[in-house]
Amino acid sequence: MMLAIDPRAFPPAPPSDPNDPGIISAHDWDAFFAVDEMVNHWDRPGWTSTTRAYYWMLTFPDAIPLIGQARHCQRELRHLGFDEIDEDGFHLTLSRIGLAKEISSQQLERLVANAFKRDIERFTLQAIPLTASRGAIRYSIAPWHPVLRLHAALAAAGIESRLPMDKPTTSLRPHVGLAYCNQTMPAREVRTAILPFRSLDAVELNVHQAQIVELRREHRAYRWQVVHTLPLR
């Protein structure tokens, strides 16, 4: 699959090899090195305390190695004042499905049934420490191809179910967040702080299911309720 340049994504351009961990990690870091200023992740129009939306996500509540390493990094980076992701909140966002008030439970059930027919295989990823975007500190993810295949299958199921995804697979940039920026600040301070953690070992993530969640925001944090679980084969 050919990935596209998308100015809405970060990084806007994809890496030269979306399967190579070293190339992906370096590409993410180079993109962040070009950022001058961090922005407030929560300053997003359209979200209120009552907003509820359905998303396809990969969640990692039982990924003990990831949780342990992430908590260590968060403690060491606490001086930055970012909003840390709780240990039950680590996730990889695949796509927004739509606002909860506009989608019925029957539509979601049809979406999951159509996705299940596609016989999507489970896979293993690496979470590679650490990099950042304009609004968050995060892990790079490798390889991308299994995530792209999953996204494409879910997108096809969405079209069949008349619930198209909000962004194409060609614009996906897989990552797992560590902490969200809640203010405007120089990006160089964040680069200096996270650079030592780039020498840490990557963490393995076994992906055996995808989930539809009802997402909300509470006190500068994302919370969700799992609505449907799609087992991978």
Token readout for 81 is: 């004042």
**Residue 61: HSE in the Cβ half-sphere, 13 Å Cα cutoff:** 9
Count Cβ atoms within 10 A of the Cβ of residue 24 and give its class: 0-12 exposed, 13-18 middle, 19 or more buried: buried
Predicted confidence (pLDDT) at residue 25 exceeds the cutoff of 80: yes
- 197 found inside a domain: yes
pTM higher than the cut 0.75: yes
Give the 3-state DSSP-derived string for 46-66, with helices as H, strands as E and coil as C: CCCCCCCEEEEEEECCCCHHH
Quickly state the pLDDT bin for 144 (edges 50, 70, 90).
very high
- 38 found inside a domain: yes
Q: How far from 232 is each of 38, 42, 58, 61, 112, CA to CA, in Å? A: 37, 32, 11, 17, 12
The residue that leads in pLDDT, 119 or 59, is 59
- 124 found inside a domain: yes
* pLDDT of amino acid 78: 98
* pLDDT of amino acid 145: 97
Domain that holds residue 101: 21-42+51-231
- 121 found inside a domain: yes
- The answer to whether the beta carbons of residues 22 and 181 sit under 8 Å apart is no
Please give the tally of structural domains in the chain: 1
pLDDT cut 90: percent of the chain above it? 96
